[in-house]
Structure 1
């Protein structure tokens, strides 16, 4: 398989020797630009710059592996069969830059979509200016001679505008405005000069592409005697698709997809499985109903490999080159077949080959034969598509298994790329309300399985997943059985061990899969799931207590020293529990199902009972560094939290290091002070910006500052677009000044007042600059409210941008981050106080387009300290990242 860079460079090399076709030389857009296109300076970008563009793009739209696989798929067919893209008039008016940028990327990697555009909104405006009221019959524009004349001139202008914009980006574009569609009158008496397409002139399109040009067509047709007819752009795109049979048919849409009754975007629709159900839904009506029906009618005439995407132009790359997509993907798919007996399979050799395709080793065939014998004697249900690109086997509950178990799941590369894997899991959820399965923790598709599960538990390199199990006692039993027996609890351990030895020589692997790239983003959810979203993932204790907490499973392998597979919760010691942050962390630990607070140290409160912690009685202690060293040596603590003022915790940290020398115990240290934030041997614990896998592997974590967290999250998405030094005007509530009396927490002094302090060289200024890799100016203030921070951040830009552009950048950057919320208006302190995340908004752009003001708010005691500390503890100890953190 060619890499993305190789594809692009090879395509670029081809284009350097091409010459303009004669038809292109005669086009009205050629002119002086013809010489420029033929000149050396107009040749495609150099290999070096092309490579740089590809690498940059790969990192922005998805994993490199995803993009390469999709490029391989798209380049596996002739260039004419890559994609037909329909561009509406509103897109040409409002999103031309986004469209051109997306097309430029496709062109750079050697892909040539066929573009057909309309101009409906522009035509309505011109007709109204000319005193002509647009008329429609059955949704089709009535086109008289005057309307046709206006439409013809408008289409030529819009086509020229798009072609010019592409040329300015270095994209060779071929305007094809006449002779592409042959037509006859649809009904002259009823609609006037409206055409019904009878054939498509593929030769002109193929010639343009073979000469290195993206064809740009108008939705105008001609009769046999040369009469021009108006054609709806959607209809023209459909007829183009029928003639070219492309892999993708793309409808660019301002909305970016189809939406269900709850206003949620439908990620994917499998027509063979879902069409009848969809069309029976109350919310599927009017335009949505018509669009789905038209797309089904189109796909029924095309190969099953063709799919339709409805997508916003700025998300085109993400839709085409990532597993998660960005709009609505519609495909015919393959109806799933089920079997409940080995005799239901027409050909045992085919079944055997499917089970063999994931296995290696000299005894793999013998192992599969034994598996088939097992299936002959035991109940099961298999699910698969026609070509068996996806194949799953579920074993029902039995004396050995308390829940239905997914015993086999094998997916080919084609099955992943065509979303059959998601389709099969959708069916499993319909037929099996509760399901359990296990995966090796180093499985490359682990994130995909996390997305499908309601909960998980790790043990000895395995991860057990489940969904649909909400009874607390039931989950407790499941966890205990897994902790005690591992995979043996899921079925015949002898059989499973033989199966896995055939594959890798390790302990049994219940779920077997192949060929799919590691998933960096959430996999597509089919429309049936979009209508009925999964319940929030909760831990067993939270289910019992009925608390509304989010507990998403850790999307990274649980590297932590202590993880949820242990019988005992993680043991936590808090050094410096008297302050506001320490108290906030105690409240969080009080409801955490997998952590217990064993020791709290405070010199002032030693001997008194800890308030606000209900799991067991805890008495404040005055722990010395020597006490800490001995406790570490004896392995009594899994995690130490340092909630001390700056410059105070070093003796305790060194005591832990000393204790480790005489012990196998390797506890986790999380320091809430600034003492180790600039020490490269410590991991900086900001999960939204630092690799979670790094935090999960760390034994010493520097918790970021409150000001610094909000500022970094508020600036990070624009670092590559910076045109100068950002300035941060920060205002904190007086809890940020701590409990020790000072002017900054004197309520009387703060009333009707605002106090500025440390106007330059504040430690957070250094912290923010160090982590972002660019200098910032930070000006802190304190106000009379108790908790909460507001940042107003002025950010110079290195290019002209719109508010919409910038907001989209932030939404894309923080998509899926549960503790970061991107809003439209400037967020307020009142709304963030007491909540566990960060809100970012404002996005006001200066009239020059070269400066934006972004606002960010954070609760300094929670996400600014205690909540973030708990995120880091969860990751490092092997628990779900958001375990015990209330919903934002």
Structure 2
């Protein structure tokens, strides 16, 4: 364990002597590899003194506890290479000020104490929502933009000034000079006065006040408010303001502080460590999980970085991780940069300028014969198949020799990166490209290389001997590993390559050993390697041994999951899917037919109904279809012939098994998708439960057997799910459905005359949906269904016991955060109404009435049982499983 307080004090005493006034430097007691380092130094205002210089030295030493001293010094040198206002623009959301003020101000103080001046711009959205709510004003948004009338602006302006002062005062308490800048920076005109009222579009940024603050030794703290030429104050989004600042200042870093700490890949539920836009943008934007806020954020960041120097990058991080993100190679959040697009070559003729290639190879060679050696090396490439990877300026160059007839693995023989290449992280990009092309790779590095752990991060195994380390990945065959160990321990570099490039290539060309791998990895080459992990540093034993790399390096979104999330299905599918509907007589079947009719990529081919066989299908315009009475044998034959891509079972419970069995028996080349709308397979572990808002969408996308959730069950689960971690008992669900939920077969439950002025309870205990809800949520619930006189639509009133006391506002915020970006879930303050949901394709959740004890809340949820409760949800599942956009063909309100 490392105690930062005692360490800092000891360093300071040695630097200045016990009689000197010491800065009050403190931090939490943390393991060495832990990130959270809160540094605060109280100092006198004024020009830099020996105290402040010593403070910087102390802080740098403390910062080295979260990374290597090399990393810290390199990044400080990098950040200090530009003017102060070009270091970083940091956007601070209102929630960060409210919930993480200590972490935020400690991080900003930290930066200031090493001589850096980030430009901070903040918002106050959550606080404004609360103030408006307390004032009885419902916040209004149009296309995600807050409509700002005069009353709202007055409240917002007062709030912004208060939040700005709160941040400034807290920094001042920590000994950091901070200057509030609440006007004079952003000039704007109206975004759309008729639509948004007092909302501005920034048209000019005046950096004079920012430069004046920094020149006076103060951190500039800006509000996201703008003024028109006439002096009218306008509200602007803080993200937009930060972007405009970045365009004017061209900083090295644009930092968005986020409580989530980054962007996440929904396939793996892992944080996306880094995105290289030049290489990965199109791939990322094609992923099913890249939608709504995530999609918009990445698109806006690309547009921003396209107009900035390549050295600029965007980081999305938690405020407590700011130091690690900025000063270590591994980073902490999501790093987004343009990167340099790689080119490949498999022959010397593929290089436009052969002399430039030689110049690149010479730059890391030592000795008077360097040029002659490189000439022989290039000549040697003519004798051997190879593949080279390089960017346009050739800041990065890697050369790989493919497997020979005697080996199954490839050899990385050249790997050279300039300082500029490391700053734009082409090294990781190049290695990722190599790994895609070559599943098995071997290379060697000197044991004393200070960046050795970067190679550990890239390797799956290693072996050390006589000052050399051999690395590999993808080699799992024990005989191959044994061969590598024997050759390396017996012959060392004489078999695996040495510093003589010519000899190395000649040996490779003759395939004498079949594995010639030597990577020159000097400190000049691999400095600032982003994928470096200082916590992974380990001494290498002089005895030969295998070492598995257990560190997590900064990876890429495409290498996190290089395969499409849909298995064999194309995520950008443009071929119409052939659909067969079994059981189309009911209300749900007709609702689905209507949706398929409007879908650009669904081709309904067969509709089966015993009662309607021989009649023309109405409501479908793409082709003439006649109802059929398909038998199980018909279905087996059609499946065997590959005639159908997706089968939809719209049959009553307990009826569809013979058809499913027939599809299984006749499984042909298509391996078609089945979506079952009944309850028959909702408890079958071999089937995927298709509730996209609560189930991992990747599981649905990869599935061929999907059980569509029940209507009651869908609304109930969405109404309870955000509170499952806070439950203090079993929820009780009082549900009322329109009579369409009772089906088309005549019964007292769908007899309008019987329902008139009436409500009918049924299946008061042990209803199938009660089991379904309990199974999926993992908690026992009580469900009491009823039917009423309206045709379609369900209302749930859900009583939920709470473990701890909570407020209505806290609960509502939980739901808003949980369903943020979900197009078919709407969270409202008031209890939703059936007449408002009937004919709509989503779910509405509201009410949030909390008992006076704070230990019980009543949540209301509404759903159209024929649409999101059945047909719409079915289409969501079909889209995902067949490789189309999830909401394709679904009218969105």
517, 521, 534: which one pairs with 1:513? 521
Q: Distance in 1 between matches of 2:244 and 2:401?
A: 47
| Partner SS state of residue 105, structure 1 | helix
| Partner SS state of residue 392, structure 1 | strand
Q: 1:282-320: per-residue Cα shift (whole Å, max 9, x none)? A: 121121111111111111121111100001111111101
Q: Distance in 1 between matches of 2:541 and 2:409?
A: 27
The answer to whether the Cα contact below 8 Å between 1:368 and 1:499 also exists between their aligned partners in 2 is: no
Q: Distance in 2 between matches of 1:41 and 1:293?
A: 42
Residue 102 of structure 2: aligned partner: 97
Structure 1 residue 203 displacement after superposition: 1.4
Residues 499 and 175 of structure 1: CA distance in aligned 2, closer, same or farther (over 3 Å): farther
Q: Distance in 1 between matches of 2:442 and 2:502?
A: 15
TM-score (norm. length: structure 2): 0.53
Q: 1:335-388: per-residue Cα shift (whole Å, max 9, x none)? A: 001111222222222211211111111222211111011012321111011222
Residues 47 and 305 of structure 1: CA distance in aligned 2, closer, same or farther (over 3 Å): closer
Residue 446 of structure 2: aligned partner: 440
Answer yes or no: is 1:327 the counterpart of 2:333: yes
Q: Distance in 1 between matches of 2:277 and 2:536?
A: 33
| Partner SS state of residue 378, structure 2 | helix
The answer to whether the Cα contact below 8 Å between 2:411 and 2:516 also exists between their aligned partners in 1 is: no
Answer yes or no: is 1:232 the counterpart of 2:237: yes
Answer yes or no: is 1:294 the counterpart of 2:300: yes
More deviation, 352-361/268-277: 352-361
Structure 1 residue 44 displacement after superposition: 8.9
Match runs of 1:59-74 below 5 Å: 59=65, 61-74=66-79
Match runs of 1:361-380 below 5 Å: 361-380=367-386
| Partner SS state of residue 77, structure 1 | coil
Residues 267 and 432 of structure 1: CA distance in aligned 2, closer, same or farther (over 3 Å): same
Q: Distance in 2 between matches of 1:443 and 1:43?
A: 37
Answer yes or no: is 1:184 the counterpart of 2:189: yes
Q: 1:6-31: per-residue Cα shift (whole Å, max 9, x none)? A: xx9xxxxxxxxxxxxxxxxxxxxxxx
Answer yes or no: is 1:355 the counterpart of 2:361: yes
The answer to whether the Cα contact below 8 Å between 1:299 and 1:306 also exists between their aligned partners in 2 is: yes
The answer to whether the Cα contact below 8 Å between 1:367 and 1:498 also exists between their aligned partners in 2 is: no
| Partner SS state of residue 377, structure 1 | coil
Answer yes or no: is 1:414 the counterpart of 2:396: no
175, 183, 189: which one pairs with 2:180? 175
Q: Distance in 1 between matches of 2:536 and 2:127?
A: 50
The runs of 5 or more residues in structure 1 that have no matched partner are: 1-7, 9-35, 501-506, 526-552, 566-888
Q: Distance in 1 between matches of 2:166 and 2:80?
A: 29
Residues 341 and 521 of structure 1: CA distance in aligned 2, closer, same or farther (over 3 Å): closer
The answer to whether the Cα contact below 8 Å between 1:412 and 1:515 also exists between their aligned partners in 2 is: no
Answer yes or no: is 1:281 the counterpart of 2:287: yes
Structure 1 residue 206 displacement after superposition: 1.4
What RMSD over aligned residues (CA atoms) do the two structures have, in Å? 3.1
Match runs of 1:234-633 below 5 Å: 234-261=239-266, 262-399=268-405, 401-490=407-496, 495=501, 510-515=518-523, 523=531, 555-561=537-543, 563=545
Q: 1:87-145: per-residue Cα shift (whole Å, max 9, x none)? A: 00000011111111111111111111111000000000100111101111100001111
The answer to whether the Cα contact below 8 Å between 2:444 and 2:518 also exists between their aligned partners in 1 is: yes
Structure 1 residue 517 displacement after superposition: 9.1
More deviation, 513-522/142-151: 513-522
Q: 1:540-568: per-residue Cα shift (whole Å, max 9, x none)? A: xxxxxxxxxxxxx9953432456469xxx
Q: Distance in 1 between matches of 2:84 and 2:428?
A: 29
Residues 42 and 145 of structure 1: CA distance in aligned 2, closer, same or farther (over 3 Å): farther
The answer to whether the Cα contact below 8 Å between 1:400 and 1:492 also exists between their aligned partners in 2 is: no
Q: Distance in 2 between matches of 1:91 and 1:463?
A: 45
The answer to whether the Cα contact below 8 Å between 2:84 and 2:117 also exists between their aligned partners in 1 is: yes
Residues 74 and 48 of structure 1: CA distance in aligned 2, closer, same or farther (over 3 Å): closer
More deviation, 40-49/153-162: 40-49
Residue 227 of structure 2: aligned partner: 222
Residue 208 of structure 2: aligned partner: 203
The answer to whether the Cα contact below 8 Å between 1:116 and 1:216 also exists between their aligned partners in 2 is: yes
Q: Distance in 2 between matches of 1:405 and 1:42?
A: 53
Residues 126 and 495 of structure 1: CA distance in aligned 2, closer, same or farther (over 3 Å): closer
Match runs of 1:12-27 below 5 Å: none
The answer to whether the Cα contact below 8 Å between 2:374 and 2:502 also exists between their aligned partners in 1 is: no
TM-score (norm. length: structure 1): 0.53
Q: Distance in 2 between matches of 1:554 and 1:56?
A: 19
More deviation, 486-495/270-279: 486-495
Q: Distance in 2 between matches of 1:76 and 1:439?
A: 31
Residues 40 and 343 of structure 1: CA distance in aligned 2, closer, same or farther (over 3 Å): closer
| Partner SS state of residue 299, structure 1 | helix
The answer to whether the Cα contact below 8 Å between 1:268 and 1:524 also exists between their aligned partners in 2 is: no
Residues 482 and 402 of structure 1: CA distance in aligned 2, closer, same or farther (over 3 Å): farther
Answer yes or no: is 1:57 the counterpart of 2:68: no
Residue 156 of structure 2: aligned partner: 151
Q: Distance in 2 between matches of 1:450 and 1:556?
A: 10
The answer to whether the Cα contact below 8 Å between 1:339 and 1:383 also exists between their aligned partners in 2 is: yes
Residues 144 and 56 of structure 1: CA distance in aligned 2, closer, same or farther (over 3 Å): same
| Partner SS state of residue 359, structure 1 | coil
The answer to whether the Cα contact below 8 Å between 1:445 and 1:517 also exists between their aligned partners in 2 is: no
Q: 1:398-430: per-residue Cα shift (whole Å, max 9, x none)? A: 246542110000112222233211111111111
Count of aligned pairs: 499
Q: 1:850-886: per-residue Cα shift (whole Å, max 9, x none)? A: xxxxxxxxxxxxxxxxxxxxxxxxxxxxxxxxxxxxx
| Partner SS state of residue 254, structure 2 | strand
Q: Distance in 2 between matches of 1:518 and 1:342?
A: 26
Q: Distance in 1 between matches of 2:151 and 2:50?
A: 43
